[in-house]
Structure 1
Amino acid sequence: MVSSGHSVHAIIGATLDEDNSEGYFGTSSAGTFMQSVKKLVQQKIYGIPGLPLSSPLTHGRTPPASGHYITQPKPVEYVLPSRRRADILMSCYWRYVHVLYPYLDKMQMEEDYEKLWKADGSIVDERSFMCLINVIFALSSQIDESTPIGDRQRTAQVFYLRAKELLDIVETGSVRSVQSLLLLGQYYQSTSEPHPCWIFTGLAIRTAQSLGLHFTETSECAADIRTRELFRKVWHGCILMDRVVSMTYGRPCMVGPKAALAVPLPLPIDEEYLTPENSQSRSPQAPRTYSVEFYVLSLKLYDVMHDILFSFYSVNGQACQPGEAKDLTFLDQGQNSVFEIERRLSRWADSIPTHLRLNLSNKPNSGTAEATLHRQAVVLHQRKLHVRLLLLRPVLSAFITSEFHDGDRPVPLDSLLSQRVYLQCAIVCVKVALEAIDTIHKAKGSGVGELNFCSAWWYNVLYLYTSATVLIAARLSPAVLADVSEESVLSGWRIAMEILEEYSVIGASIKRLTTTLRLLLEAVPQQYSRLKGNARQGQTDVSSAPQVQPENILPQAAWRPQASSDFLSTFQDDANGGLLGDDGDLENAVLLDFDTVFDPNDLSWLTTIPLDA
């Protein structure tokens, strides 16, 4: 058997080498127990004091802010773009990405970046730094306005492949490794490949845990306040990305709520203003930027989002049954009821400082500090609206389903109040969707690839798709349309589709989303009305009426967008990018398929996204 020379075992963990270099090992590790026994023996026989057995840093040193535990440098061969091009991409990153996701110590990064261009420059663990730089270049290439929209993906792919060559996920890693993995996850959000996004986010979390970043003591024992805050920003970046990708893909989070709360949030102070004097203050006197303050507000918002996902969606491992949607009481029971979470969202909104509150009527000049604050305010508002949609969509879905079953029956007096409350929730959901569309419409740039004051285009696509499905659902409810006119619903729909059409030149996956929305807009109301009419007439034909399902059994004919890419792939692209059936007739082909698979009990298309397989 080949010996690796390491002091750990893949199953046992750390052995008797107290100063192992393989990261953190917890108390359940067999190797940890062996080390504890050794310390007790030393104390008993030789009187040698040992570290407290409860200390999480007993088995692994405090991770360095950059570089690996391994001290022997590896040879690095890399290619850099021209200095001018590199400066453009770095400037793009600081301007558009860092102000929303301050995972990096900007001062240290800029110092090391300058060393790249000097013959005598020495960077700690140059390999990991070059990996991180290439990830930054890849992500910046996707939003760089000086690059034609059609060339961005190709350019970004070049830098991604370079970063991939330098990325080492076998070694213990470093804080820099976690930063690279987090940004790789964000990079893949801009592509049509969800799987690498999911995997890189998971790798970031696992690497951070191997460094002990999930313990308060790790950051508390950091050498200085800047390093302490960096550790906390990076760990909470893992939590943020974990929740975002779990929301997007409808999968379980890796980090539970207790673990997320274990490490204090970063101070809302950017690193250039961090000093020992204001280490405990949340209101430093010096003038400052607000990247970390925005970041902390987002972390608190996504804490609310996590509870929404766990309470009302299937990400907790328990699939939501379509039949349960008829029982509206599940929405107002328990600590995480719709109304309690709505109150939490309201308190969160009240905590936003004045300089981060949205004012769309007052747009500052681009490139100024005021422009950065305005963009942060817009993005924060977009995120809040999306979280509210996640909260209220189940109410809208449940209300529409109950309206289908009980539309012709008088509402009992003892249920009248709750029915009215749920109707108002459904109405608010539709109004929030319209506001989300309007916010993007007013804040986006004039060109397809221009960020202006909005989120990155891939987030805008998510927000627009989510809002558009809500508007489709709104057209199924006469009660909702009595308050929100169908004219305003269709107007919001047209704006959303126009923006998505603009974005469709970026990638084929966006074109598939717009096609899916058109199919839903045309087919769902027709089929819903027809099936509702059949139900009123008392028809029981299985092809036209909803079937009574046994408890906890999914309808056999439920149509789910998880498989929509397969559904859409049965049609062929025409010259204009549309989808046609074998006979060239789009509408007939779609409606024919909906005849066999549509079920009005199942509004899962409202809460999922047809991602690429």
Structure 2
Amino acid sequence: MPDAKLHDLPPDVRELVQRYFDFHHILTPIFHIPSILPRLEQVLNMDRTRRYDDPLILAMINMICAISAAHRRNGFETSTVQTRKYYDRAMALVGTTVLFDWSVEKVQILLLGARYLQSSNFPDESWTLLGLAIRIAQGLELHRPPPENLDCIQKEVRKRLWYACYMTDQLASAMYGRPVSTASNTFTTPLPEDLDDDRISPSQLLYPPTPTLSAMSHSIQGVKLCRIMESALTLVDPPLEKIVELDEQFEAWDAQLPSAFRVYEHEPVLDDKKLIMAMRANMTRILIHRHSVVKSLSLLSRGERLTPLSDGLRANMMQNSRHICVRSAEDTIQLVGRRHDTTKAVTGPSWFNLYYLFNAILIIASHVVDPEFRDDKEALAHLEDGMRM
């Protein structure tokens, strides 16, 4: 890319930045908005010839534009060629110093880039860039409690950024079937405060008189769910007791989930935050209980005869585990179906449709190939619905 193009910005840059903070930021918060917006605005107001004065903020704006343009909600398509151009500009702006001179801003830029690549059909590049973001974050010691000499805003940004790395890594590892780089036993960073940005100043944190939901609440609930998902991902032929233990953890998490983040039956799913939380919750429960389906599938694949289920307690518990797994997959197909007509036209691959739908179909297909369950009409109906989407 010619150097002359590095400092260009799209004509609708402010709209794209606003869209990012209206929708994407709350899913994975990595900024303190009152602190970062003036810095972005300063670069936007600069004459084009002076934008090189702050290459990191310019790179950040380009990454934000790439994410927002790739996921337009109004049906107007932005080509991958165009969104990739924003990404490439951002990487060119940081590329010469990306392996040294580490900073929080560089981790933010790389994490934004990894999220763009993951949702724009560049999975291998996303995996590599995410790994680099995590390594730099560890080099900056974001995986440890923030130093006491930092102000309150700096501390919260570091915590938010680390847990954004953690969640992105856990979800990517689940999707690609690869090891995580952010295992919980390797870091001690406390959770971010459940506070809106206007309650965080450099000198103090202002807690409300009574606990209320904040713009951070959705992300914090997602982190708690990822902890359970992380444990489920490590299970290999686990004892039944471990499955029960993890399911109890999931039920405890579900019991405290605020109603604002729940999807209720027979109501339209208009809030993507609710949908994403429900999809991730179902995926976690499938991961916990998948072994009850995998075990019989493994026997079938080896041509071994399945022994009829006994009436013993352990057999009944395995049956219940299988039921939970399959019903979670069916619920995922129902959720995708309730949004299918509106999300199928959204530009950029609809990752919560494609990935979660594929896994749900795989679970149900694995279930009904078992001769004992081949006439499960409810499962077969959901399988047919999923295949039509």
| TM above 0.5 | yes
> Which of the numbers 360, 368, 385 marks the counterpart of 1:467?
360
Q: Which aligned pairs between 1:138-537 and structure 2 lie closer than 5 A?
A: 138-146=66-74, 148-149=76-77, 151-167=78-94, 168-218=97-147, 220-223=148-151, 225-260=152-187, 262-275=188-201, 279=205, 281=207, 284-285=208-209, 290-312=214-236, 330-333=238-241, 337-363=242-268, 374-402=271-299, 405-407=304-306, 409=307, 416-444=312-340, 446=342, 448-450=344-346, 457-481=350-374, 485-486=376-377, 488-499=378-389
Cα distance in 2, alignment partners of residues 362 and 393 from structure 1: 29
Cα distance in 1, alignment partners of residues 363 and 138 from structure 2: 38
> Which of the numbers 93, 111, 120 marks the counterpart of 2:38?
111
Q: Secondary structure at the match of 2:71?
A: coil
Cα distance in 1, alignment partners of residues 346 and 121 from structure 2: 20
Contact map agreement 1:136 1:183 (CA 8 A) in 2: yes
Post-superposition CA distance 1:347-380 (Å, at most 9, x none): 011111232222254448xxxxxx6xx4322221
Contact map agreement 2:276 2:352 (CA 8 A) in 1: no
Contact map agreement 2:261 2:274 (CA 8 A) in 1: yes
Cα distance in 2, alignment partners of residues 193 and 222 from structure 1: 36
**Residues 76, 456 of structure 1: alpha-carbon distance in 2 compared, 3 angstrom cutoff:** closer
Contact map agreement 1:382 1:436 (CA 8 A) in 2: yes
**Residues 78, 277 of structure 1: alpha-carbon distance in 2 compared, 3 angstrom cutoff:** closer
How much has 1:412 moved relative to structure 2? Answer: 6.4
User: Which residue number corresponds to residue 130 of structure 1?
Assistant: 58
**Residues 128, 277 of structure 1: alpha-carbon distance in 2 compared, 3 angstrom cutoff:** closer
* TM-score, normalised with respect to structure 2: 0.88
Contact map agreement 2:30 2:108 (CA 8 A) in 1: yes
Q: Which structure 2 residue ranges, 5 or more long, are not aligned?
A: none
Q: Secondary structure at the match of 2:45?
A: coil
How much has 1:444 moved relative to structure 2? Answer: 4.5
How much has 1:402 moved relative to structure 2? Answer: 4.9
Cα distance in 1, alignment partners of residues 285 and 183 from structure 2: 21
**Residues 161, 305 of structure 1: alpha-carbon distance in 2 compared, 3 angstrom cutoff:** same
Post-superposition CA distance 1:142-170 (Å, at most 9, x none): 11134644x43122111111111112312
Bigger helix fraction: 2
Q: Which structure is higher in RCO with an 8 Å CA cutoff and minimum separation 6?
A: 2
Cα distance in 1, alignment partners of residues 158 and 118 from structure 2: 24
Cα distance in 2, alignment partners of residues 107 and 444 from structure 1: 36
Cα distance in 1, alignment partners of residues 9 and 353 from structure 2: 31
Cα distance in 2, alignment partners of residues 391 and 250 from structure 1: 15
Contact map agreement 2:43 2:57 (CA 8 A) in 1: no
How much has 1:298 moved relative to structure 2? Answer: 0.5
* TM-score, normalised with respect to structure 1: 0.57
**Residues 419, 406 of structure 1: alpha-carbon distance in 2 compared, 3 angstrom cutoff:** farther
**Residues 255, 447 of structure 1: alpha-carbon distance in 2 compared, 3 angstrom cutoff:** closer
Q: Match for 1:110: what amino acid? A: L
Q: Match for 2:223: what amino acid? A: L
Q: How many pairs are equivalent?
A: 381
Cα distance in 2, alignment partners of residues 438 and 188 from structure 1: 28
> Which of the numbers 9, 14, 17 marks the counterpart of 1:90?
17
RMSD between aligned residues:
3.0
User: What percentage of aligned pairs have identical amino acids?
Assistant: 22
Higher gyration radius (CA): 1
